Amino acid sequence: MKTNEIDYDNLTFSFTETKSMYVSKCNINRAWKKGELVPFKNINISPAATILNYGQGLFEGMKAYRTKNDEIIMFRPEENARRAANGCLRLSMPKISEDIFLDGVTSIVKDNVNYIPSTDKGALYVRPIIFGSGEGLGVAPSSEYTFMVYCSPVGPYFKGGLSPIKLIVTNDYHRAPLKGTGGVKAVGNYVPGMLPSSIAKKEGYAEVIYLDAAEEKYIEEVGAANFFAIYGKKLVTPKLSGSILPGITRDSVLFLAKNKLGMEVEERKITIDEALDADEVFCAGTAAIISPIGSIHYNKKEYNFSEGNVGETTRELYDILTGIQFGSDTDKYGWVTKI
């Protein structure tokens, strides 16, 4: 799509085709080569490709922002590179190097710079994908791998910006078991959430809260975002157990709560009953940024937080985080990369 055909005033979190994509291949020697930019287009793939048959693949999600001074910045992209590399190992794929990952990401942002909305309208969502593109009939790692990066201008993930969302706890579905692949961004982790999420949306909820698969007692995550509960000056989030994705926003929020707001920070198991007792609750991720949770439906009852408003500490954390991410505040932590 041409940039002048895009309605930047009404961007949603949906796909808009841009100018180019980045493609790199990894052959039988399992060595990644630097990729190249090509026009955005459909790809050719064998019906016997490992990604299509066995889901051998992962993705990343990151954003490039246009600051008020018209600079283009990204937030902690090397953390996405590290998470993708860990994911490759878990999924029996050759480990992507930080250099090649970041070359793909920065090349795509530079080449599609005209698609980046102004800060108040949204961001350029950058989507690296790594998958088994070689053929294979038996269940085994692929003979060839592809690393691609594409992008799309996006607006907010949850409609309504920083306004409290309604969530529902599911007792019917789990996202990821312990010792599975929940701790990496495997493509196969996301399809199990589509059915519960669409049921929840039909019932008027923005997303689902998942409980742990073993005891169905502890909070895991909110769809594609990490969960947080605030009790006075204490911030609690579920401990990374292997089934929860180690969110980069999660890590940043924990750091800021401790170091900027002087909060006590706890990473531990948190029961749903304990969470329902919190002063404020929110979820956080690249797409969701920080989304205040206004109510949680659990066991046929609705539990409300912050009297339907955005909690004070949630707003403070949002302002601090987005100040750094959008480039309006000084980045004291070396989190921002200029592109």
Ligand X SMILES: Cc1ncc(COP(=O)(O)O)c(C=O)c1O
Q: Which residues bind ligand X (CB under 6 A)?
A: 61, 221, 224-226, 245, 247-250, 285-286
Beta bridge partners of 22: 37, 149
Task: Give the residue with the Cβ less far from ligand X, 6 or 58.
Answer: 58
- Helices and strands, counts by H and E, the chain: 7, 17
185 is catalytic: yes
Angstrom distance (rounded) from CA 270 to CA 237: 7
Give min distance, CB of 226 to ligand X, in A.
5
Give min distance, CB of 48 to ligand X, in A.
28
Beta bridge partners of 129: 59, 148
- Who's near 312: CB < 8 A, 6+ residues apart? 280
Task: Give the residue with the Cβ less far from ligand X, 144 or 207.
Answer: 207
Give min distance, CB of 4 to ligand X, in A.
30
Give min distance, CB of 27 to ligand X, in A.
29
At residue 167, what is the residue type? L
Q: Considering 159, 179, 185, 332, which one is annotated as catalytic?
A: 185
At residue 129, what is the residue type? I
Structure tokens at 99: 């250099």
C-beta of residue 245 within 8 angstroms of C-beta of residue 185: yes
- Who's near 59: CB < 8 A, 6+ residues apart? 127, 128, 129, 130, 185, 187
> Considering only CA atoms, which of 1, 252, 10 is closest in space to residue 122?
10
Task: Give the residue with the Cβ less far from ligand X, 116 or 248.
Answer: 248
Give min distance, CB of 249 to ligand X, in A.
3
Angstrom distance (rounded) from CA 126 to CA 115: 11
Give min distance, CB of 70 to ligand X, in A.
25
Task: Give the residue with the Cβ less far from ligand X, 286 or 337.
Answer: 286
Angstrom distance (rounded) from CA 66 to CA 74: 9
Task: Give the residue with the Cβ less far from ligand X, 64 or 225.
Answer: 225
Angstrom distance (rounded) from CA 129 to CA 23: 10
At residue 210, what is the residue type? Y
Task: Give the residue with the Cβ less far from ligand X, 24 or 226.
Answer: 226
User: Which positions are annotated as active-site residues?
Assistant: 185
